[in-house]
Chain A
Amino acid sequence: MEDIIKAEHLTKYYGDFLAVKDISFSVKKGEIFGFLGPNGAGKTTTIRMLTGILKPSEGKIRIFGLDAEKNMVSLKERMGIVPEMANPYIDLTAMQNMMLIGHLYGMKKKEMKERSIELLRLFGLYEKRDKKVHSFSKGMKQRLSLAMAMLPDPELLFLDEPTSGLDVMSARLIKRIIKDENKNGKTVFMSTHNMNDANELCNRIAIINHGKIVAIDTPERIKRIGREHTVIEFSVEPFRFDKNIVPDVEKVKVMGDKIRIYTKDVDTVIKNIVNYARKEGLKIISLNTQKPSLEDVFVYLVGGKNE
């Protein structure tokens, strides 16, 4: 299938600081491609290079088969972009924001008006179309941002953390619309640190950490990276736990009144937990084993520490 984005050996320095180190990947037509990483991993820097906001220190980007550096302004006509933290104009109304973007994309007035109305309805903002954006909630602003990016009906959408910090309903709506856009043939490049979103939406994902891609594949295949590990989750009453009873495990994580242990040696760990509970007079409330989720693998790949 045709490559819509092809990034080769991308590197970005900010002064002496190496933000992105020699990454290469491609995004195929019709894919939802997720770019996952912890804060400061290089996700936004990569998106900014792909969308022409930053110039790569080294490496090449081709979008729709064209050299991005030489053709960025005309390429952007085929792209809709929701930058991270970039706001709509709060002193303009929702409709004025839409019309501004329509003009910047060179759309005809009638077309931009009709499409704006259609999108504002889709995002549940039509009733507020003449209200200034400073009265909008974060979720409404983000919905408007996505509506603005979709206005010119672009073939390729770049979404930087599209659901970050949103209420459940706004996040659901945005995810549904991303899926629908993809069904209609749009290619989506999205960054996120929300594993559920990535698992639910993306055909393929790349995990980036410290500016380097550490894994790139489908979510299911990436989950297999951690297949030799098992997650043991248990809870005891009264809640108490001594890490020293499981000395050779990969990771121990306290989650509310539960403990999650990542290990290759299920037998020893479970016996130790049971012995510990018996010795301390603790009641085991729950104890189960499961294969790692995408989040587990992500934590494993980006080197999370015991908590």
Chain B
Amino acid sequence: MSKFSQFSRSLAIVKKDMLIFYLKGPVIIMGLLFPFFLFGAFLIGRNLSHEYLFVALISMTAFFTSTAVGPTIIPWETRGKTFERLMSSPISITTVLLGDMQASFYFGLFITSAISLIVIFLHISLNLLIFIPAVILALLTFSAMTILMSSYPPTDVPADVMMLSSLVKFTLLFISGIFVPLEKLPLYARAVSAISPLTYLVDALRYSTNLSGYFPLWIDLLALLLFALIFFFSGVAVHKKVLERRFT
């Protein structure tokens, strides 16, 4: 069976995920509101430039929306006894995960695009040739991260995965140069920041708003791409390894 055929079948998974998990009023509203709440908490009491605020808002939006639902899809499906039905179809586990990843990506893209329109009111000059590829690569990376997050433990309790993924997400948020620029961090903290994919999005977005970055731009984009590949393929490998445990 061709890879194209499997890819086109992954689009059916995207549609199913959208209908069941994403295109629900509360999910969309939370997707739109949550970054604003975080952003508000970050903004209050600080005198920051519009560029700085825009970078923080878009980074948080892309990160939280594309990782909002993804980690819990497989546990939900396992619990609802629909995962076995899916795996009984002529598709591989890679196809299922590719579909789940795309759903996270499209949801993140939709919400991040909507929030990005705020640029009109902030009167800042935005370099779209940097902004668009950086955001797309970052959304792919974060969506792939949800595949890895959902892989272990092979539980059918979505709350277990949500707890673990929230722990990872908030840790990454605080070490990625959103609240404190990388150049102001001590050396050891900068080393820790380097292992967070969010760091590279924040850095690339600073270039797109004419702020100075910490890493060269090509490093930011390359790092995002590498993280996406590592997250997806390691996630698929772990899912394959623990697949049987979801049915027993």
What is A's interface to B at a CB cutoff of 8 Å? Answer: 14, 48, 51-55, 73-77, 81, 83, 85-92, 96, 100-101, 103-106, 145, 148
Closest chain A residue to B21, Cβ basis: A91
**B247 CB contacts on chain A under 8 angstroms:** 48, 53-54
Listed residue (A51, A73, A77) with the most chain B CB atoms within 10 angstroms of its CB: A73
- Cβ contact within 8 Å between A87 and B1: no
- Cβ contact within 8 Å between A73 and B12: no
Interface 1/0 per residue, B1-36 and A, CB below 8 Å:
100010011011001100110000000000000000
- Cβ contact within 8 Å between A104 and B90: yes
Cα–Cα distance between A86 and B19 once the two chains are bound (Å): 19
- With A87-B82, A100-B16: A53-B87 Cβ-Cβ less than 8 Å: yes
- Cβ contact within 8 Å between A87 and B85: yes
Closest chain B residue to A48, Cβ basis: B247
14 further interface pairs, Cβ-Cβ under 8 Å (given A14-B248, A91-B19, A148-B85): A73-B90, A74-B90, A76-B89, A77-B90, A81-B88, A83-B84, A86-B82, A87-B85, A88-B82, A90-B80, A91-B20, A100-B16, A104-B12, A104-B90
- Cβ contact within 8 Å between B89 and A104: yes
Q: Is B183 an interface residue (CB 8 A)?
A: no
Q: Is B50 an interface residue (CB 8 A)?
A: no
**B12 CB contacts on chain A under 8 angstroms:** 100, 103-104
Q: Is B92 an interface residue (CB 8 A)?
A: yes
List CB contacts (< 8 Å) of B33-51 with chain A.
Answer: none
- With A55-B244, A96-B19: A76-B82 Cβ-Cβ less than 8 Å: no
- Cβ contact within 8 Å between A86 and B244: no
Q: List 24 A-B contacts (CB under 8 A).
A: A48-B247, A53-B87, A53-B88, A53-B244, A55-B244, A73-B1, A74-B90, A75-B90, A77-B1, A86-B82, A86-B85, A87-B82, A89-B20, A90-B80, A91-B19, A91-B20, A92-B16, A92-B20, A96-B19, A100-B16, A101-B89, A104-B86, A105-B90, A106-B8
Q: Is B111 an interface residue (CB 8 A)?
A: no
- Cβ contact within 8 Å between A83 and B90: no
Closest chain B residue to A87, Cβ basis: B81
Closest chain B residue to A14, Cβ basis: B248
**B80 CB contacts on chain A under 8 angstroms:** 87, 89-90
**B1 CB contacts on chain A under 8 angstroms:** 73-74, 77
- Cβ contact within 8 Å between A106 and B90: yes
